[in-house]
Amino acid sequence: MSERFKEELAKDLGFYDVVQEEGWGGIKARDAGNMVKRAIELAEAHLASEKQSGN
């Protein structure tokens, strides 16, 4: 994942302030897991929309 994408996910999930203050090492394991889960959901949705549009 790109740094920008990770930052956007952290903002959406509500722990970007921790990333800014402590870096990625400061986030909780649960937050990291939720970030990966959300990234997978977005990727699956993107693939599904491509499949429906025939691309």
pLDDT 10s digits, 6-53: 999 999 999 999 999 999 999 999 999 999 999 999 999 999 998 888
pTM of the model: 0.82
Q: Which residues are CB-neighbours of 26 under 8 A, at least 6 positions away?
A: 18, 19
Neighbours of 9 (CB within 10 A): 20
Of 52, 19, 54, nearest to 9 by C-alpha is 19
CA dihedral 31, 34, 38, 40 (to 10 degrees): 120
The per-residue pLDDT for 13 is 98
